Structure 1
Amino acid sequence: MAVKAVGWARSFPVSRGVRAARLWTAEHLLSLPWSDSAADTVYAVLLSVSELVTNAHLHAAATAHLVLTWDGTCLHVSVADCDPHQPSPRETDADADTGATSGRGLGIVTTLADSWGVHACHGGKAVTACFRPLGGPDPHTG
């Protein structure tokens, strides 16, 4: 069985903002066969793109390189930046200040994505999250 993957890539400098990355992603999601039937997955992808691009802009203070790849089973969302420090989700603390406005991005991605990982790349790192749409194509049919 041949895999027909599609993908898109674009860089988002800090000046372009997270909104531009989210709109660009939404536009490309419309071309995928499951976007109409998996609204929860579309929302999860868009929220995760916002969080990952925000993290790249905040922690690397540099351009976020966003790559979307649909392999027929999973939408891979990858954001690379020039900061070599690999992130990890923060522990949740019931006694912590519930008004904190930062530090929850990777936790959100962890909750929304089917899987995620981080690896070194080009002197920096890339965080990649995988989303398997409910109601999407059956990976066992050809």
Structure 2
Amino acid sequence: MSESSMRAVGWARSIPAASEVRAARQWAREHLDSLGWTATAPETVDAVLLTVSELVTNAQKHARSSAQLVLVWDNRCLHVCVHDSSTSLPAPRSPSTERTSGRGMFLVDALADEWEAHPCTDGKTVIACFRPPGGTGSDGGSGEGTG
């Protein structure tokens, strides 16, 4: 494989606005398990699943829309992407004892290695990236393009 090419694996699912966030977490866990992460990087799995919960909840609660959840593993980083129909970009807010909500992006900011939000013509996409400890998370991609 040449250095300019990239091998990646990905999964996508639509999460209807009326569905439970738990279904999104379970779906994501199945794919993390297929990468071997539940055994090799359980702390990262927990961080990814909490991020999925927060981003899908934000789509359902604040955008009042379905969430398009996409997971992409490119042998370096797991990209957790959630698209919704709101054009309002998220920003982390400091926790407050006076508010009962509003900590979701603060958590994502603390859990993900990095995250970003992109406006789209039909809403926005929030992408959080996670690198497992040791730099690889599956047998199929360790070391390619490095070195």
Query: Could you tell me the TM-score, scaled by structure 2's length?
Result: 0.86
Question: Distance between the aligned counterparts of 1:36 and 1:135, measured in 2?
Answer: 13
Residues 77 and 130, structure 1, Cα contact 8 Å, conserved in 2? yes
1:7 equivalent in alignment to 2:6 = no
Report what 2:20 is aligned to.
17
Report what 2:43 is aligned to.
40
- Unpaired runs of at least 5, structure 1: none
- Letter of the 1:47 partner, please give it: L
SS in 1 for 2:62: helix
Report what 2:78 is aligned to.
75
Question: Distance between the aligned counterparts of 2:26 and 2:37, measured in 1?
Answer: 18
CA shift digits 1:17-74 (9 cap, x unpaired): 2011000000111111444111000000000000000000011111011000000010
Structure 1's consecutive aligned runs of 4 or more residues displaced over 6 angstroms after TM superposition are none
Question: Distance between the aligned counterparts of 1:24 and 1:30, measured in 2?
Answer: 10
Report what 1:118 is aligned to.
117
Residues 51 and 105, structure 1, Cα contact 8 Å, conserved in 2? yes
Question: Distance between the aligned counterparts of 1:35 and 1:73, measured in 2?
Answer: 17
Residues 38 and 136, structure 1, Cα contact 8 Å, conserved in 2? no
Deviates more, 1:11-20 or 1:45-54: 11-20
- Letter of the 1:106 partner, please give it: M
Identity across matched positions, percent: 54
The two structures, once aligned, show a CA RMSD in angstroms of 1.8
Residues 37 and 136, structure 1, Cα contact 8 Å, conserved in 2? no
Shift of 1:105: 0.2
- Unpaired runs of at least 5, structure 2: none
Report what 1:127 is aligned to.
126
- Letter of the 2:17 partner, please give it: V
Report what 2:62 is aligned to.
59
- Letter of the 1:103 partner, please give it: G
Deviates more, 1:33-42 or 1:71-80: 33-42
SS in 2 for 1:87: coil
Question: Distance between the aligned counterparts of 1:21 and 1:127, measured in 2?
Answer: 15
